[in-house]
Amino acid sequence: TQLLEQSPQFLSIQEGENLTVYCNSSSVFSSLQWYRQEPGEGPVLLVTVVTGGEVKKLKRLTFQFGDARKDSSLHITAAQPGDTGLYLCAGPGGGADGLTFGKGTHLIIQP
Amino acid sequence: ETGVTQTPRHLVMGMTNKKSLKCEQHLGHNAMYWYKQSAKKPLELMFVYNFKEQTENNSVPSRFSPECPNSSHLFLHLHTLQPEDSALYLCASSHSGREETQYFGPGTRLLVL
């Protein structure tokens, strides 16, 4: 089974600060996805990274896939209260279908 | 119509009850999934259906029984559950395989007493 470790587990910062959260594995993934989940809702896809070393930007969010395709990071610039949520990374699992998820990072942005 | 809907949103049941969770997707997708989300644990894949055929059963106890009558509907039948089965049950769909974007429903919050 391929495992994804996310850190930190919890993060609470002030509005306007920058932050980075990490997703690491000892296994190589063909792709990694980042989702955000808000209370009472299911996860919503933010981005998919496919190529080692790839960097993708989504407004204030910057996603990076490690060169060896074993890790990924999400950097948020000038965090806003609307960024609050559970950030999950996921990749194709060991089985035929479905995704393997990390435990997630609970992010709280305080006004 | 919202992409993936789940009913009920909340369910409380005793250990001897039988209940069913329903998921419906309006996206024209061919693959549907059940995941379990518990506190302090990663999202766990339970079942996968691709073109109505079950392609994965991730060692799930037999007290959980999935049913996929067509590509748009997915059910999870529950019977004689245990308190540790209390969790958020999420349904998702994708066009076909796992490499593609999965669209999740809002989940059913289940409490087993």
Residues B44 and B65: their CA atoms lie apart, in Å, by 16
CA distances from B28 to A7, A8, B56, B70, B99 (A): 36, 37, 21, 11, 17
What b/e sequence results for B51-90 when a residue is b if at least 16 CB atoms lie within 10 Å of its CB, and e otherwise? eeeebbebebeeebebebeebbebbbebeebeeebbbbbb
pLDDT tens track for B46-82: 999 988 788 777 789 999 999 999 999 999 999 999 9
Facing residue for B50 by CB, picked from A41, A48, A97: A97
Query: In this complex, do A90 and B43 lie within 8 Å of one another by their Cβ atoms?
Result: yes
CA dist B113 and B65 (Å) reads 20
Percent of chain B with pLDDT over 90: 72
Least Cα separation, residue B90 to chain A (angstroms):
7
Contact A100 B99 (CB under 8 A): no
CB contact under 8 A, B43 and A43: yes
Dihedrals phi, psi of A82, to nearest 5 degrees: -70, -10
Please say whether the beta carbons of B37 and B86 come within 8 A: no
Please tell me which residue of chain A has the smallest CA distance to B100: A48
Residue of B56, B101, B106 lying closest to A45 (CB–CB)? B101
Find which of B29, B45, B52, B108 to mutate to test the A interface (most A CBs within 10 Å of its CB): B45
Q: Give pLDDT tens digits for B1-54.
A: 569 999 999 999 998 889 999 999 999 999 999 999 998 788 898 999 988 788
pLDDT at B1: 53
pLDDT tens per residue, range B88-97: 999 999 988 6
CA distances from A67 to A2, A45, A51, B7, B75 (A): 18, 22, 8, 42, 40
Residues of A in contact with B103 (CB under 8 A): 45
